[in-house]
Each structure stands twice: as structure tokens, then as C-alpha cells.
Amino acid sequence: MNPPTHGALHHVEIWVPDLDRALASLGWLLQTLGYTVSRSWDTGRSWLLGPTYLVLERSPALTADRHDRRRPGLNHLAFHVEDTTTVEKLAVDAAQHGWNLMFPELHPHAGGKQHYAAYLENTDGFEVELVAINSPRSS
């Protein structure tokens, strides 16, 4: 494994209102994308991929019970996905894990004609974008 590059993202910690729901949706997605659980404790989990890790935690210091991506702070996480076929498979499979497809009328080009992605939102209001690494160019 290559050492991290100066300025590269080290980790992201996401506070969730319900750890079980987060594990069912975000945990499923992280494992499907190749992350592995690196730490586990009563109120959280940590997933690792290369030098970067993501934490899901139910903190006792939470001040709300739902994430609002339209407020200041984190809007969404975007993940590279191998290709358009994998984006579509994940979008379909995600429905069984607490995710809903956002912008279905614009899917898979909600980000523009040259951008192939699925935008998903889970029960707790967290959004992820699954972006095809190799996608055919649209006209």
C-alpha cells in the first residue's frame, strides 16, 4: 500500500441517530464497496479502505435525531464505483438496505450528461453519490 499523500483525506466521522439503521444502510454500502470493519464498539464502527477510514457512531452528544443535508455541514459522500453496471446494481440492491433513489427522473445523469451516478438517500437523511469511474460519454 502506498503511503498517504499530503492533503489526502484521513477519515470521516459521521454521527448517526440510530446505529443499527446506519449499519444496515451505510455499513452495507461500505462493505459492498470494499471497506472492511477495522474497529467495533458499543456505539460505533470504523471501516477502512486503504489509508482512509469512515466512522459511524451514535454519540450521546447528538443534538438532533435526523441529518439534514441542506443545512451547513456535510451534504453527501461521493464514492467511485467501478463502472455503470455496478452503479446500477448498487442502486437496485440499495433499496433492500434502507436507501431510496433520489432524482429518479434524471437518473443516471442527475449530475449532468457527462456524469453517470446514482444519488441515494437513507432513512436518516444521509446522501451518497455512487459515481461510475468508467462510463460511456453521453451525447
* pLDDT at residue 137 tops 80: no
pLDDT at 136: 66
Where would I find the H helices in the chain?
A: 19-22, 28-32, 84-94
* DSSP for residue 4: P
Cell numbers linked to 15: 454521527
pLDDT at 139: 40
Q: Which of 82, 67, 79, 85 is nearest to 124 (CA)?
A: 67
Query: Which region holds residue 34: left if phi is over 0, alpha if psi is between -120 and 50, else beta?
Result: left
Across the range 21-35, mean pLDDT stands at 97
Amino acid code (one letter) for 63:
T
Question: Which residue in this structure is represented by grid cell 458499543?
Answer: 42
Q: What is the mean pLDDT of the chain?
A: 93
User: How far is Cα 123 from Cα 28, in angstroms, rounded to an integer?
Assistant: 14
Percent of the chain with pLDDT over 90: 79
* pLDDT at residue 138 tops 80: no
Across the range 28-33, mean pLDDT stands at 97
- Each residue's pLDDT tens digit, 36-74: 999 999 999 999 999 999 999 999 998 988 888 888 888
